[in-house]
Amino acid sequence: MDARLNLLNKPSVPAAEAEPPVVRLRHFTRRFGDNTILADLNLDIAPGEFVALLGRSGSGKTTLLRTLAGLDSTEGQDVTVPASRAVVFQDARLLPWKKVWRNVALGLKGKDVKARAVAALEEVGLDHRIDAWPLTLSGGEAQRVALARALVREPKLLLLDEPFAALDALTRIRMHRLVLDLWRAHKPAVLMVTHDVDEAVALADRILVLDEGRICAQDRIAIPRGERGELARPYREKFLQILEGSVRNDAVIPFPAGGAQ
Amino acid sequence: MSFINKLVNSRWFSPLALLAAWEAGSRLGLIPERTLAAPSAVAGTLFGMLVSGELPSNLAVSFGRVLTGLAIGVTFGVVFALIAGLSRKGEAAVDPLMQIKRTIPTLALTPLFIVWFGIGETPKIALIAFASMFPVYLNLYSGIRGVDLRLLEGARSFGLSRAEQVWHVILPGALPSLLVGLRYSLSIAILVLVVAEQINASAGLGYLINNARDFMRTDVIVVCLIVYAVLGLAADWLVRTIENRALVWRPSLVKA
């Protein structure tokens, strides 16, 4: 077994960060009525870090993402998120009555809005569909437009909400490559919500496992992205064990006390 | 043989047969002219009225009434729908009134409008405006409320202000509903026009019909009926044209 693979067993030593984190949550709690969705959650994301958030349906993944996206009120809570952030949703959420480039340019201010939108579309390989209507795009194309729309804002934090869940396997692999290329070129911090272990392992620097509103495990993957082929299977098994509670005590990596890293 | 077969199967056959029977009935004296003029007589009258300018000038008067009434009604309908659709307070204030208004048949207000506005142009236009307001209001209001919340949320996540959300997301999203409402409003406006024009009109299609009734000119009455039908068709065509231009993004129209 690869020595660099710690399989969520040992607390991973957080890398010493020179820069302050772009995202900082302390004791974050979110309730809807009597339902506690997120409880006492601590989270830091470093600038340029690619974090995958794994969890079952109903684990609070989407609530956490909505909080970071500024879609839910965070009044009275200790939450720091950068002002420049962008979301790619599972359904691309393009406005069907605006041509592709106008969707990308949505809400942009300043000069050369069209030029910037077109440049972003070129980057995702869609410069030939600039004037297309969104409803004529395929699922993969729509998701690439959504990526361009997010990246044209040069966000410090890019939030991906199961962005590839509705795509076919082949398109998904191509989208993974595209996302990595774009991430390397623009270096935003990324939080990708997913329920796909393979996807998380293939893309992320760090994997968080969210269950019942808590981060119940996390791991930093030191292995370079090209060499992770065999990694998904052991991770998947461990992930299942954690969720079933069979290895909870020794597997759970407690977040550093008070969340201070 | 095949031509007759085609004719019998075509959708033109039964209307044409009816027309032919009607003409034959008139010629044979089975349908007296004071009951219903022959189609040929109607066509002749139509031509005569067109050439003399009697029909165009009266049509222009009626058209003006519809247009003015519609402009007022649609404007109010849109404004009320925006107020009710975009704010909870506005909804609480406007919607109950509109629902009350809906329960009163517009034409039942005719006597009241005559008392208020006299027998000139005002009650006619007011009736049309009042009747055409509701379909636009109801459809636009439900269109605004039915805008896809996920799209709105997406726009919000990109930091669009409330005004920008309304302009880029809510209004374009509600446009198809508005056009449906507009189509209803147009047909109701023409319906109300017919009745409103019976109020002591001195010009317009209603005046022509009333006059023709007094002189038992069934040919003129039929001509006016045809013109009303053409008005309805034209209104429908107008909205269709607007839809084709404004909703080019819809897939059915994209493919066409």
pLDDT digits (tens, 9 = 90+) for B172-210: 999 999 999 999 999 899 889 988 888 777 888 888 888
CB A235 within 8 A of CB A243: no
Residue A55 Cα, gap to closest chain B Cα (Å): 22
What pLDDT shows up at residue B134? 93
B251 touches chain A (CB under 8 A): yes
Interface test with A, best of B153, B178, B249, B252 (most A CBs within 10 A): B249
* Distance between A32 CA and the closest CA of chain B, angstroms: 19
Q: Is residue A121 part of a domain?
A: no
B151 CB neighbours in chain A (<8 A) are: 93, 95
Q: How many CB pairs under 8 A join A and B?
A: 56
Number of H helices, E strands in chain A: 8, 9
Query: CA-nearest residue of chain B to A67?
Result: B157
Over residues A115-125, the mean pLDDT reads: 90
- The structure tokens listed for B77 are 């309908």
Across the interface, whether the CB atoms of A133 and B249 are under 8 A apart is answered yes
ipTM, 2 decimals? Answer: 0.77
Interface check for A5 against chain B (CB to CB < 8 A): the answer is no
Asked whether residue A182 is assigned to any structural domain, the reply reads: yes
Q: Do A95 and B250 touch (CB under 8 A)?
A: no
DSSP-assigned states of every residue in B175-225: HHHHHHHHHHHHHHHHHHHHHHTTTT-SSSHHHHHHHHHHTT-HHHHHHHH
Rounded to an integer, the average pLDDT of B56-76 is 93
For every residue of A139-177, DSSP letters joined together read HHHHHHHHHHHHHTT--SEEEEESTTTTS-HHHHHHHHH
Give the domain B38-255 fold.
Answer: MetI-like fold (1.10.3720)
CATH of the domain at A28: 3.40.50.300
Mark yes or no for CB contact A135/B251 under 8 Å. Answer: yes
Considering CB atoms only, which of A86, A97, A136 is closest to B158?
Answer: A86
Instruction: Tell me whether A113 touches chain B (CB under 8 Å).
Output: no
Q: Which domain holds residue A237?
A: 23-94+155-259
Shortest CA gap A14–chain B (Å): 30
Higher pLDDT, A156 or A13: A156
The structure's pTM equals 0.78
Q: Which of residues 53-82 of A touch B (CB under 8 A)?
A: 69-71
Scanning every residue of chain A, which has its alpha carbon at the shortest distance from the alpha carbon of B249?
A97
Confidence of residue A215 (pLDDT cuts 50, 70, 90): confident
Q: Is residue A223 part of a domain?
A: yes
Predicted confidence band of residue A252 (pLDDT cuts 50, 70, 90): very low
R_g of chain A computed on alpha carbons: 19
Taking the domains of chain B in order of start, what are their residue ranges? 38-255
- The pLDDT value recorded for residue B253 is 54
| pLDDT for residue B12 is more than 90 | no
Q: Which residue of B has its CA nearest to A159?
A: B157
Question: B75: pLDDT confidence band, cut at 50, 70 and 90?
Answer: very high
What average pLDDT is seen over chain B? 89
Sign of CA dihedral B28, B34, B35, B41: positive
Residues 26 to 45 of B: which have CB under 8 A from any A CB? none
* B175–A95 C-beta distance less than 8 A: no
The token pair at B52 is 């003399």
> For residues B151 and A93, what is the distance between their CA atoms, to the nearest angstrom?
5
Number of alpha carbons in the 13 Å side-chain half-sphere of residue B236: 7
Rounded distance between C-alpha atoms, residue B67 and residue B132, angstroms: 11
Q: Is the Cβ of A197 closer than 8 Å to some Cβ of chain B? A: no
Taking CB atoms and an 8 Å limit, are B158 and A153 in contact across chains? yes
Residue A62, pLDDT > 90, answer no
- Residues in A touching B251 (Cβ below 8 Å): 133, 135-136
**pLDDT tens per residue, range A218-251:** 888 878 887 777 777 787 787 777 777 655 544 4
Number of domains in chain A: 1
Sheet holding A78-80, edge to edge: A35-45, A23-32, A78-80
Q: Assess A153–B contact: CB distance below 8 Å, yes or no.
A: yes
- Tell me, yes or no, if B245 comes closer than 8 A to chain A by beta carbon: no
Over pLDDT 70: what percentage of chain A? 87
Q: In the structure, what pLDDT confidence band is assigned to residue B77 with cuts at 50, 70 and 90?
A: very high
pLDDT given at position A246: 56
Q: Which of A87, A96, A98 faces B157 most closely, judged by CB atoms?
A: A87
Give residue A8's pLDDT: 54
| A70 → chain B, closest CA residue | B157
A133 vs B254: CB contact, 8 Å cut-off?
yes
Paired residues of A80 in beta bridges:
A24
Q: How many CB atoms lie within 10 A of CB A107?
A: 17
pLDDT for residue B159: 83
CA dist A94 and B255 (Å) reads: 19
A221 three-state secondary structure: coil
Q: Is residue A125 part of a domain?
A: no
Query: Which positions 131-190 of B are in contact with A (Cβ < 8 Å)?
Result: 150-151, 153-160, 164, 168-169, 172-173, 175
Q: Is A7 contained in some domain?
A: no
Contact B159 A133 (CB under 8 A): no
The C-alpha atoms of residue A6 and residue A230 are separated, in whole angstroms, by: 14
From residue A135, alpha-carbon distances to A37, A125, A142 in Å are: 34, 18, 9
